[in-house]
Amino acid sequence: MFVTDGAYAFPLVRSIRNLLGQSGRNIEDFILVGLPPEAGQTSKASRSRDYTPSNPLLDPSQHRGKRYTAELYGEADAYRDFIEQRVFPMVARHYRADMTRKVFAGHSLGGLFGGHVLLTRPSMFEHYILSSPSLWFHGHRIRATEQAYADAHADLPANVRLYIGMYETPGDTARHYRTAGMVGDVHEFERRLRARRYPGLRIDSEVVEHEDHLTVFPDSISRGLQWALPGTEPYTPG
């Protein structure tokens, strides 16, 4: 399993695995690989550059404002290639990993990056766990990526789970996501891919009750792990 935002996600996923895994009962044993920020870069600078497929700062129709405050965006293709060409061989060389069963997990911009990989090089991973993907980024630019993939391909072989918190949509409480309707974006993304009728695609989404953008990832990863790497038997309280 490869997780973005490794400084945060790696210890979280490790702890969830230790709680739910229980010798492979609820979650199959797996090798966890955290994808951290570049050395010497802040998390914001590194993830804004590496997880985004385009640069809205070069687009006159997009306003920097409060949304686009990093110095650089749009290097997702290069980061995807780095993972495939450098990280995968390193993992295969040093660990007893089944590289035919790779799982991706990402949240927010990390989820957007996962969606971009899915639509540009889907065979990189067998399972995609996309938590609160920032599909709004750069005026929903991912719609054009999805259309380009559909125009050129008859199949999209991948297993995809999308998770989104119920509050990730405009509303009247402090927990609501005020600037984007992310719940609607996830449903639209799922509908678009389902409508293509790709024979190799398995996709589903879930709105997680009582969660917002900052609280949903632990729930998403717990559910996603049990979906992508189911264990040998259900959990029995001890």
Which CATH number characterizes residue 14's domain?
3.40.50.1820
- Whether 108 is covered by a domain: the verdict is yes
Mean pLDDT calculated for residue range 115-121: 98
For residue 58 the two structure tokens come to: 């070069």
How confident is the model over 171-221, as pLDDT tens digits?
A: 999 999 888 899 999 999 999 999 999 999 999 999 999 999 999 999 999
Taking the CA of residue 169 as centre, how many other CA atoms within 13 Å lie in the half-sphere pointing to its CB? Answer: 13
- Whether 58 is covered by a domain: the verdict is yes
Signed CA dihedral, 98, 99, 104, 110: sign only: positive
Give the model's pLDDT for residue 31.
96
Total count of domains within the chain = 1
How confident is the model over 85-98, as pLDDT tens digits?
A: 999 999 999 999 99
- Whether 237 is covered by a domain: the verdict is no
Mean pLDDT calculated for residue range 118-129: 98
Q: Which residues, listed in sequence order, are joined to residue 159 by a DSSP beta bridge?
A: 127, 202
| 83 in Cβ contact with 124 (< 8 Å) | yes
For residue 4 the two structure tokens come to: 């973005």
- Whether 165 is covered by a domain: the verdict is yes
How confident is the model over 64-110, as pLDDT tens digits?
A: 666 888 989 999 999 999 999 999 999 999 999 999 999 999 999 99
Question: What's the pLDDT band for 25 if we cut at 50, 70, 90?
Answer: confident
- Whether 149 is covered by a domain: the verdict is yes
Spatial separation of the C-alpha atoms in residues 88 and 84, rounded to whole Å: 5
For residue 113 the two structure tokens come to: 């990056």
- Whether 234 is covered by a domain: the verdict is no
| 105 in Cβ contact with 125 (< 8 Å) | no
Give the model's pLDDT for residue 133.
98
| 126 in Cβ contact with 2 (< 8 Å) | no
Spatial separation of the C-alpha atoms in residues 58 and 122, rounded to whole Å: 27
Give the domain range for residue 167: 2-228
